[in-house]
Each structure stands twice: as C-alpha cells, then as structure tokens.
C-alpha cells in the first residue's frame, strides 16, 4: 500500500441519497455553525478545517455524526 499523501478526520454532517446504488457522505461546515461566526473550524484531526463530499456504495452503515478518516494516496500506474 502506498504512503498516504494526506489524511484528516472529520464528522459526517449529512448522508445524501444519490440513487439506488450510492450515497454521498458530506461535511461542508468549514465555518463555526455553533457561534454563527466566520471562523473556520479546526481541530487536532482536521487542522486545516477541510470539508468532504464523497460518493460511496450503499450498505456502508454510516450516519450523520459519525467520525471518519479521509485518506488520499497516490497510486502508481
């Protein structure tokens, strides 16, 4: 397995039903929603305040509020 180029941890804000085969896991709250400020939310697992939006096959068992790790790896051809 390749060495990860980058990874971060974030909570799932929303699971969208895309079609019969897939859902979309999302977290697009890079701003502090609790205080209604424009301050980007950063923490130990997500020091840059990144957000995600990724389609995955149904049957994953994930739901809003679950904490997940996003890993990006370069794959050699």
How many domains are there within the chain? 1
Say if strands 14-17 and 22-27 run parallel, antiparallel, or are unpaired.
Answer: antiparallel
**pLDDT: is 73 or 39 the higher one?**
73
**DSSP secondary-structure letter at 34?**
T
Query: Given pLDDT bands bounded at 50, 70 and 90, which one contains residue 43?
Result: confident
Domain with 19, as residue range(s), is 4-71
Does residue 23 lie within any of the structural domains? Answer: yes
Give me the pLDDT at residue 48, please: 87
Note whether residue 50 is domain-resident. yes
Number of CB atoms found within 10 A of residue 76's CB:
4
In a domain, 77, yes or no: no
pLDDT of residue 40: 72
Is there a domain that residue 36 lies in? Answer: yes
Give a yes or no: residue 39 inside a domain.
yes
């Amino acid at each position: 397995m390749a060495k990860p180029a980058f990874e971060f941890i974030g909570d799932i804000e929303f699971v969208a039903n895309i079609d019969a085969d897939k859902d979309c896991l999302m977290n697009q709250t890079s701003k502090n929603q609790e205080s209604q400020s424009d301050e980007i939310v950063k923490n130990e697992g997500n020091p840059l305040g990144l957000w995600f939006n990724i389609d995955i096959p149904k049957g994953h068992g994930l739901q809003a509020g679950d904490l997940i790790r996003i890993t990006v790896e370069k794959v050699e051809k």
